[in-house]
Structure 1
Amino acid sequence: MAEISLNNINKVYGDDFHAIHDLSFDIRDGEFMVFVGPSGCGKSTALRMVAGLETITSGTLTVGGRVVNEVDPKDRDVAMVFQSYALYPHKSVRENIAFPLLMAKVPKPEIDRRVEEAAEILELTAHLDRKPGKLSGGQRQRVAMGRAIVRQPAAFLMDEPLSNLDAKLRVQMRAEIASLQRRLGVTTIYVTHDQVEAMTMGDRVAVMKAGRLQQVDTPQALYNRPDNVFVAAFIGSPSMNLYEAELDGRTLTLGTNSFDIPDAVFEKRPSLAGAQKRPVIVGIRPEHMDDADVRPASAQIRARVTLVEALGAESMVHLAIDAPWVDAGDPDAVGEIGDGKAAVARFSPKSGVAAGDTATVAIEAEELHFFDPETRLSIW
């Protein structure tokens, strides 16, 4: 096991494509760290630099206190688990798991012991003599994990290992991987574009955008205290609803709706106190909105219902709010009132609203998020 430190890591391809910009943070010994972000944000490139599969243009990478910038991948004491499993189809499960130990010329009795131990941990004992083609996707992923485990590395590096599985199996496997990592206590870096995976698996999560680190923190801290509009929009499912608004004293004006902000907001965000017609971006998470007829609140707005998705335990209600919206997928874009962008709210299944209704929406104003329209940073 080992601590991994990235210090001002940069990756430049050719003369003009700067893929990673000054990436700096520490991954603690035994920690499960998740890199998350949209496609093309640089998360896999960062992982491959840790593995030694990509060269580092500048900066320092250390594993267990040792600078490894120029160290070959095979000598970094890390094990990679790929998206594609990368199993040998002509070899048995036993032979696939044992392969890295054979290459390292580990004595056969030790190979057998480690393979049997890994197979027991991963519930593969009954499949050791089968070929990968006879296994399910989840079982093949376990074989790939077993091949990494037997090496007893200082760190596991996993690049979107569950993306080839169906939705139900992904949920099962992410729980199994997280449980296994905690059992083994091995430092792990896990790359995913799925923020639900990131939130449920990681001890901490590093959110990236366009090759830059946006924020690194625990999943709950990212949810409660996002540093900027991008993190706020990316963390949480469905995404946070973001609108341009104006704060004047205690009154928040959101398009054609206005309501007073409770004292708790100003206690939590003292920089908002005394604002006079201050433009802000306000963020409202779907779970902090409900049908006012079912769950009343002091803050209420009127909105037109455009779609109701009944999911049994809750209803996803799409709402047209008369206010300029900030695009959750592209926080640099702002839409005009009435041009089709709908907020999403988690309504109680007891709500009777239907598409076409004008609903009174209760908002938990204590849970609102506020951002500066110019810097897009959170206001505290």
Structure 2
Amino acid sequence: MASITIDQVDKVYPNGFQAIYGLSLDVADGEFVVLVGPSGCGKSTALRMVAGLEEISNGELRIGERIVNDVEPKNRDIAMVFQNYALYPHMTVAENIGFALKLAKIPKAEVAARVTEAAKMLELSDQLASRPSQLSGGQRQRVAMGRAIVREPAAFLMDEPLSNLDAKLRVQMRADISRLQRQLGVTTIYVTHDQVEAMTMGDRVAVLKDGYLQQVDTPQHLYDRPGNVFVAAFIGSPSMNLYEATLAGRALRLGDESLMLPGATFDQRPALASYDGRKIAVGIRPEDLEDATLAADVADGATISSTVELTESLGSEIVVHFALDAARVDPGNPDAADDVSGADAVARFDPRSACRAGEPVGIAVTVENLHFFDLDSHEAIWD
């Protein structure tokens, strides 16, 4: 096992396109770090540079204390798990898992022991004689994991390994991979475009956009204190509602609605006071909005009124779409499905809510949890 240090790394292709800009990231020994971001953000390119499958244009890459910029992939002591499993169809599960060990001329008895141990860990003991075509998608992914495990590498690199699985299997495999990583204690870098995977699996999450590292932190801290508009919108599902607003003392004017901010907001964000009289970007998470008839202890000036456009009942909650007469802020996510020219906001209501499409609704806002950003730089407003 070993740490991985990415120090001011660039990736520029021969045609001049730059995919990665000055990426710096320290992955501690035994840590599970997730690289997440929209399509084309550079996360897979960064992983491939660590693996040695892409050359580094500038900067330094270390695995442990060793600089590996010019070290061949096979000599980096890493194991990679791919999106498409990359299994040999003519080999059995046992042969696939043990193939790298066979190439390394490990004694047959040791190969058999390692394969048996990995299969037991991955609940594949009954499938060792099967071929990949006889396995489910989840079992194939376990075989790919087993092939990585038996090598006992210094680090695991995983490139969207769950993207070919259905929703139920993805949930199961998320838990399996997390359990295995903790059990083995192997340094792991995991790439995904799915922020739910990132939040549920990583010790820390690194958010990338257009080749730049936006923020790296624990999942909870990313959720609670996003550093900019992009991270705020990317982390959380449904996505954060982002609108232009005007600050006037403690009053926050949001289109034709007004919210009163508690004094604690300015204590926590001293720089916010300097925006008095100016436009800012305000972020409201859907879970911080509730049907006012069901909300308890709603503070004065902490409700807005609107009309329900659509409801989606999920059993445990109702996702409510409603209109706000305020300009939306573009989070800059090319994968976002929302049309930012519209004025559609989303709330997560208690399932007891009786709201209906086309009817007026009072919405309680947890004003203590609002997020504020500079409208020009899109950076969070704190100190």
Short-chain TM bin:
over 0.9
Structure 1 residue aligned with 2:368, among 366, 369, 375?
Answer: 366
- Residues 147-186 of structure 1: pairs in structure 2 closer than 5 A: 147-186=147-186
Specify whether residues 336 and 127 from structure 1 end up closer, same or farther in structure 2 by C-alpha distance, changes over 3 A only: closer
Q: 1:221 corresponds to which residue?
A: 221
- Residues 119-198 of structure 1: pairs in structure 2 closer than 5 A: 119-198=119-198
SS in 2 for 1:326: coil
- Residues 56-71 of structure 1: pairs in structure 2 closer than 5 A: 56-71=56-71
SS in 2 for 1:112: helix
Q: Is the 8 A contact 1:318 1:343 kept in 2?
A: yes
Root-mean-square deviation over aligned CA pairs: 1.5
Q: Which runs of 5+ in 2 are unaligned?
A: none
Structure 1 residue aligned with 2:324, among 297, 316, 321?
Answer: 321
Structure 2 residue aligned with 1:340, among 315, 339, 342?
Answer: 342
Q: Is the 8 A contact 1:303 1:320 kept in 2?
A: yes
Q: 1:303 corresponds to which residue?
A: 306
Specify whether residues 321 and 87 from structure 1 end up closer, same or farther in structure 2 by C-alpha distance, changes over 3 A only: same
Q: Which stretch shows the higher mean deviation, 12-21 or 49-58?
A: 12-21
Q: Is the 8 A contact 1:240 1:328 kept in 2?
A: no
Query: How many residues were matched structurally?
Result: 377
User: How far is the alpha carbon of 1:336 from its aligned partner?
Assistant: 11
CA deviation map 1:39-83 (0-9, x unaligned): 000000000000000000010000011000000000000000000
Q: Which runs of 5+ in 1 are unaligned?
A: none
Q: 2:381 corresponds to which residue?
A: 379
SS in 2 for 1:21: strand
Q: 1:111 corresponds to which residue?
A: 111
CA deviation map 1:86-143 (0-9, x unaligned): 0011100000000000011111111011101101100111110111111110000000
Q: 2:246 corresponds to which residue?
A: 246
Q: Is the 8 A contact 2:10 2:22 kept in 1?
A: yes
Aligned-residue identity in percent = 64
Q: Distance in 1 between matches of 2:241 and 2:15?
A: 39
TM normalised by structure 2 equals: 0.96
CA deviation map 1:197-254 (0-9, x unaligned): 0000000000000000000000001000000000000000010000000111101000
User: How far is the alpha carbon of 1:304 from its aligned partner?
Assistant: 1.6
TM normalised by structure 1 equals: 0.97
SS in 1 for 2:146: helix
CA deviation map 1:283-330 (0-9, x unaligned): 000000011011152201111211000111100000101111113454
SS in 1 for 2:98: helix
Q: Distance in 1 between matches of 2:206 and 2:259?
A: 35
Specify whether residues 330 and 194 from structure 1 end up closer, same or farther in structure 2 by C-alpha distance, changes over 3 A only: closer
User: How far is the alpha carbon of 1:270 from its aligned partner?
Assistant: 1.1
Q: Is the 8 A contact 1:303 1:322 kept in 2?
A: no
User: How far is the alpha carbon of 1:264 from its aligned partner?
Assistant: 1.9
Q: Which stretch shows the higher mean deviation, 91-100 or 291-300?
A: 291-300
- Residues 19-58 of structure 1: pairs in structure 2 closer than 5 A: 19-58=19-58
Q: Distance in 2 between matches of 1:330 and 1:64?
A: 34
